[in-house]
């Protein structure tokens, strides 16, 4: 009897802690699904604009010539392609975007070091915006009933990320930074595309019911079987 009581107490304690932690984690995630989706769409729209970061970088680094601009192309495979992103489930998509942006943040830090004393305030703005996007992705993941960090995201090509090693000369480092930023803007454009698809296609959004819908007792039928869903390269099941 005593052991039973203890077990019950422990169970209640764990449940309470879980609820508290969930509540604490979701503090600030107040908006409804559509509002959050709208925010993500607009954030992606803002960050895909090259004038927000790439163009200032090009001007600052003296890369504003047609030839150099032509060389400033995205590394193939550095960022997930639009088709790959569109093929992901909502949760996988969010995880992938979250992980990619995490690496973009690291890349921005590297760029900042590369710039040394050349202050590029757009870098800090971009960093804050990316943090904001990740926050919204976190909330969206919660609304969809999952977490943006609990599973492994889609992998990108090996060695495709910004590596500003000491072996690179200054020019190459600048060009690498440019190509990295080019990929970043393109990636955010693709992300915005997918988010807009979420808003335009209700059937697609049913693949993962928002948490608010589940809370209302709405039970959705799973429209696609996991095995038949197009799985992009490197994608891990949810």
Partner 1 sequence: MLALQIWLVKALLIFLTTESIGELLDPCGHIDPESPIIQRGSNFTAVCVLKEKCMDYFHVNANYIIWKTNHLTVPKEQYTVINRTAASVTFTNVVSPNLQLTCNILTFGQIEQNVYGITVLSGFPPEKPKNLNCIVNEGRKMMCQWDPGRETYLETNFTLKSEWATEKFDDCKTKPDTPNSCLVDYSPVYFVNIEVWVEAENALGNITSDHINFDPIDKVKPNPPRNLSVSNSEELSSILKLTWINPSINSVIRLKYNILYRTKDASTWSQIPPEDTASTRSSFTVQDLKPFTEYVFRVRCMKEDGKGFWSEWSEDASGITYEDRPSKAPSFWYRINPSHSHSYRSVQLIWKTLPPFEANGKILDYEVTLTRWKSYLQNYTVNDTKLTVNLTNDRYTATLTARNIVGKSDTSILTIPAYDFQGKLMESKCYLITVTPVYANGPGSPESTKAYLKQAPPSKGPTVRTKKVGKNEAVLEWDQLPVDVQNGFIRNYTIFYRTIIGNETAVNVDSSHTEYTLSSLTSDTLYMVRMTAYTDEGGKDGPEFTFTTPKFAQGEIEAIVVPVCLAFLLTTLLGVLFCFNKRDLIKKHIWPNVPDPSKSHIAQWSPHTPPRHNFNSKDQMYSDGNFTDVSVVEIEANDKKPFPEDLKSLDLFKKEKISTEGHSSGIGGSSCMSSSRPSISSSDENESTQNTSSTVQYSTVVHSGYRHQVPSVQVFSRSESTQPLLDSEERPEDLQLVDNVDSSDGILPRQQYFKQNCNQPETCPDISHFERSKQVSSGNEEDFMRLKQQQISNQNSQSCASGQMKMFQEVSAADAFGPGTEGQVERFETVGIEAAIDEGMPKSYLPQTVRQGGYMPQ
Residues that bind partner 1 (CB under 8 A): 25-31, 39-40, 42-43, 46, 49, 125, 128-129, 131-136, 138-139
Q: Cα separation of 21 and 217, whole Å?
A: 23
By beta-carbon proximity to partner 1, the closer residue of 132 and 189 is: 132
Minimum CB–partner distance for residue 172 and partner 1 (Å): 32
By beta-carbon proximity to partner 1, the closer residue of 49 and 119 is: 49
Minimum CB–partner distance for residue 73 and partner 1 (Å): 26
Q: Cα separation of 121 and 110, whole Å?
A: 15
By beta-carbon proximity to partner 1, the closer residue of 184 and 195 is: 195
Minimum CB–partner distance for residue 132 and partner 1 (Å): 4
By beta-carbon proximity to partner 1, the closer residue of 49 and 83 is: 49
Q: Based on C-alpha coordinates, what's the Rg of the chain?
A: 21
Minimum CB–partner distance for residue 136 and partner 1 (Å): 6
By beta-carbon proximity to partner 1, the closer residue of 32 and 76 is: 32
The CA-CA-CA angle for residues 127, 131, 135, to 5°, reads 170
């Amino acid at each position: 009897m005593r052991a039973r009581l203890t077990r019950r107490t422990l169970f209640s304690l764990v449940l309470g802690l879980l609820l508290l932690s969930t509540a604490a984690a979701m503090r600030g995630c107040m908006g409804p699904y559509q509002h959050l989706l709208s925010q993500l769409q607009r954030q992606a729209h803002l960050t895909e604009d090259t004038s927000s970061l790439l163009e200032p970088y090009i001007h600052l680094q003296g890369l504003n010539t047609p030839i150099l601009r032509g060389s400033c192309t995205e590394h193939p495979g550095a960022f997930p392609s639009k088709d790959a992103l569109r093929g992901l489930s909502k949760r996988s998509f969010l995880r992938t975007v979250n992980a990619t942006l995490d690496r973009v943040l690291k890349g921005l830090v590297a760029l900042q070091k590369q710039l040394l004393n050349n202050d590029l305030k757009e870098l800090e703005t971009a960093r804050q915006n990316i943090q904001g996007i990740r926050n919204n992705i976190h909330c969206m993941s919660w609304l969809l009933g999952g977490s943006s960090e609990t599973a492994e995201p889609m992998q990108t090509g090996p060695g495709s990320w910004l590596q500003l090693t000491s072996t690179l000369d200054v020019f190459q480092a600048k060009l690498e930074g440019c190509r990295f930023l080019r990929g970043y803007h393109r990636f955010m454009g693709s992300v915005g595309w997918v988010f807009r698809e979420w808003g335009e296609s209700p059937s697609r959004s049913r693949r993962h019911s928002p948490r608010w819908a589940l809370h209302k007792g709405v039970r959705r039928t799973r429209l696609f079987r996991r095995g038949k869903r197009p799985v992009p390269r490197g994608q891990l099941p949810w």
